[in-house]
Structure 1
Amino acid sequence: MKLPRCIATNALLLLALLFTGALAHAAQVAGTITHLSGPLLAKKADGSVKILSQQSTVEQGDVLFTEKDTYARIKFADNSEITLKPNSQLKIDSFVFEEGAPDKDSATFSLVKGGLRAITGLLGKRNKERVGVNTPAATIGIRGTTFLVEYVPPSQSAVAAYGFASVAAAGASSWTSDRARLTDMPFSEAPLAILPRREETPVVLAQLMPSAPPVRAPGLYVQVVDGMINLSNKGGTQSFSAGQFGFVPSFQQPPILLPVNPGIQFTPPPAFSASVGAQGRQDAGAASSAVDCEVR
């Protein structure tokens, strides 16, 4: 009779441990949505999709999607913040933070498209090498900072605009070269096709070129507000400090320093600039009414 009792006791202990472990895992929250200006979706690790609201929580493995007018700020457990821009997609690859266990620290994200602003928290200050943002063009290493990122994916419109700029530049260069070559050429030897006719009005080259679409070249754009970041890929590594802008065309090409802002914009609603204390009180009042909707 003793053997069955031992087996039953061990089985109960095992079930209790499994149940406790499941509860502990379920309780691990990476961050909370503190500000939201439009629809925000989260694809969970199990494949389900949820519509998030203010005070919703996010977990490791979640993929977040913002709509065309949506800004969303997530505050993580280590007090770091990420604010997603409209039309963005971000995956929380890993997020592990225990205040008393720095050896377990880990925070990695993948920006698939769109843009974000990131502010480093405690994890990024005590274990900088364990924090990073992956993008299709480069990996961003954090060095205790505030920075903005925008990734423009390759598309027909973007490639066409970029190609147009190259062709236009090449055409202008060729035309200028021909004019310079003809400067010292006797009038009688100049090709008839190039010589202007008296009845024709001179035409400026720019008038012959159609306007290029207002589209930036595909690639990764960064702006460092304070601190420092490091961009690395197969093409090389480059550090950027406060006040600098950078661009990476692809994962095979090295990061480059830009002299001016390439067009990075970050204009969240005014409510996103509210003080933490005031917003915290608002969030606390709204917490009870926050409901996540699961899309099946």
Structure 2
Amino acid sequence: MPLSRLVLWLAIVLLAAQWPAEALALSGEVTHLSGAVLARRADGQTRILTVRSTVDEGDILATADNSFARVRFPDGTDLVMRPNSQIRIDAYKYEEAAPERDNVIFSLIKGGLRTVTGLLAKRNPNKYRLATPTATVGIRGTLFGTQFCNDDCAGLQTPSGRPLENGLHVDVSDGAIIISTNAGSQEFRIGEFGYVANINVLPVHIPPEQGFRVQAPALALGQVVAAGAGIGRANDLECAVR
């Protein structure tokens, strides 16, 4: 090998060795989708997502009408997006051997989302949160749904047949969540439903017949194609999303 090429190769190897591990790893991978799903990066570039597409910090993911997407993250977290929904990956830091660096922040901008939390939330629940326009959701090892309505939930209704009011609707299928607003915080446990009208009022518990459970199609509940078994499995979603 010529000396110049050898020097260049060694420089690349040394640079890669010094680069932070989290900078080399992508945040998540699309494992299932149906319909049209887009990702907009922080620099404004937009791309169409397919199965095995990767997503990263700063990306805004958006589903169109009649479209679903399931995204899996390295720690085993699964996010299933409903039609006409948008989420932003504000932060995702996870290293299996460095729990002190854990940090996950997702933002539900509009629409609905079902979440199965992974290893990060189990070992560092205070380092995981979901932001919404009306409240912030903290978790304690959880399977839960969130639906935010802003004059865009036509066709969605409670088991009693009532249309969904504007605000945040939540349901918990496993574990617990803590919802916080400017007025305070409330805990919601397995089997409970909640509602937050706006960011300046307390979250309230509501009876099941007035609650809304976020649902996803069978397509999003099959065997995950991405690596990382054991946490956030397809069966976990199937138990609560039918």
TM-score (norm 2): 0.80
2:82 matched to which residue of 1?
85
Kept in 2, the 8 Å contact 1:245–1:261? The answer is no
Q: Aligned partners of 1:17 and 1:251: how far apart in 2? A: 50
Aligned-pair CA distance for 1:154: 5.2
Q: Aligned partners of 1:266 and 1:248: how far apart in 2? A: 16
Kept in 1, the 8 Å contact 2:171–2:213? The answer is no
Q: Aligned partners of 1:154 and 1:234: how far apart in 2? A: 23
Q: What secondary structure does 1:253 align onto?
A: coil
Aligned-pair CA distance for 1:22: 6.7
Aligned-pair CA distance for 1:217: 1.7
Give structure 2 stretches of 5+ with no counterpart: 1-7, 155-160, 228-242
**In the alignment, which of 175, 185, 202 is matched to residue 237 of structure 1?**
185
Letter in 2 for 1:51: I
**In the alignment, which of 144, 149, 155 is matched to residue 147 of structure 1?**
144
Larger Rg: 1
**In the alignment, which of 66, 86, 95 is matched to residue 69 of structure 1?**
66
Aligned-pair CA distance for 1:264: 2.2
Kept in 1, the 8 Å contact 2:171–2:211? The answer is no
In the alignment of these two chains, the number of paired residues is 214
**In the alignment, which of 4, 26, 37 is matched to residue 29 of structure 1?**
26
1:111 matched to which residue of 2?
108
Q: Aligned partners of 1:133 and 1:34: how far apart in 2? A: 21
Kept in 2, the 8 Å contact 1:37–1:269? The answer is no
Letter in 2 for 1:260: P
Q: How do 1:1-296 residues align onto structure 2 when only pairs under 5 Å count?
A: 20=16, 27-153=24-150, 215-262=163-210, 264-276=212-224, 279=225
Kept in 1, the 8 Å contact 2:22–2:94? The answer is no
1:50-77: CA deviations, max 9, x gaps? 1110000110111000011111001101
Q: CA RMSD in A?
A: 2.9
Query: Does the C-alpha gap of structure 1 residues 23 and 235 become closer, same or farther in structure 2, counting only changes over 3 Å?
Result: closer
Percent of aligned pairs sharing the same letter: 40
Query: Does the C-alpha gap of structure 1 residues 280 and 58 become closer, same or farther in structure 2, counting only changes over 3 Å?
Result: closer
Q: Aligned partners of 1:39 and 1:152: how far apart in 2? A: 21
Query: Does the C-alpha gap of structure 1 residues 261 and 130 become closer, same or farther in structure 2, counting only changes over 3 Å?
Result: farther
1:230-251: CA deviations, max 9, x gaps? 0001111100000000000000
Query: Does the C-alpha gap of structure 1 residues 24 and 106 become closer, same or farther in structure 2, counting only changes over 3 Å?
Result: closer
Letter in 2 for 1:40: V
Kept in 1, the 8 Å contact 2:138–2:179? The answer is yes
Letter in 2 for 1:133: L
Query: Does the C-alpha gap of structure 1 residues 118 and 63 become closer, same or farther in structure 2, counting only changes over 3 Å?
Result: same
Query: Does the C-alpha gap of structure 1 residues 18 and 123 become closer, same or farther in structure 2, counting only changes over 3 Å?
Result: same
Give structure 1 stretches of 5+ with no counterpart: 1-11, 159-212, 282-296
By percentage of residues, which structure has more strand?
2
126-135 or 22-31, which deviates more: 22-31
Q: Aligned partners of 2:209 and 2:143: how far apart in 1? A: 16
Aligned-pair CA distance for 1:272: 2.2
1:198-223: CA deviations, max 9, x gaps? xxxxxxxxxxxxxxx96422100000
Letter in 2 for 1:63: I
Q: Aligned partners of 1:271 and 1:242: how far apart in 2? A: 25
Q: Aligned partners of 1:64 and 1:252: how far apart in 2? A: 27
Letter in 2 for 1:224: V
